[in-house]
């Protein structure tokens, strides 16, 4: 019983974790683009625009 639960739950959890990971990666890449495209002097303006 315990083994079946341990095997069946991770499959669903893995899907959720993978989905969350994809969203985090997409969000992180967007932030990286904003920071890399902007000159170092205008980082304060970018931070304010996010808020």
Q: Could you give the CA distance from residue 38 to residue 35 in angstroms, rounded to a whole number?
A: 5
* pTM of the predicted model as reported, rounded to 2 decimal places: 0.43
Angle between helices 43-50 and 2-37 (to 10 degrees): 130
> pLDDT tens digits, residue range 4-27?
655 566 688 888 889 999 999 999
Q: State residue 22's pLDDT score.
A: 94
What's the domain count of the chain? Answer: 1
CB 34 within 8 A of CB 46: yes
Domain, as residue range, for 12: 2-50
> pLDDT tens digits, residue range 21-43?
999 999 988 888 776 665 555 55
Q: State residue 23's pLDDT score.
A: 93
Q: Could you give the CA distance from residue 17 to residue 36 in angstroms, rounded to a whole number?
A: 28
Q: Could you give the CA distance from residue 27 to residue 46 in angstroms, rounded to a whole number?
A: 15
3 state SS of 6: helix
């Amino acid at each position: 019983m315990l083994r079946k639960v341990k095997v069946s739950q991770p499959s669903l959890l893995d899907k959720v974790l993978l989905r969350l990971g994809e969203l985090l990666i997409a969000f992180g890449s967007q932030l990286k683009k904003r920071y890399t495209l902007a000159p170092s002097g205008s980082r304060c303006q970018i931070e304010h625009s996010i808020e």
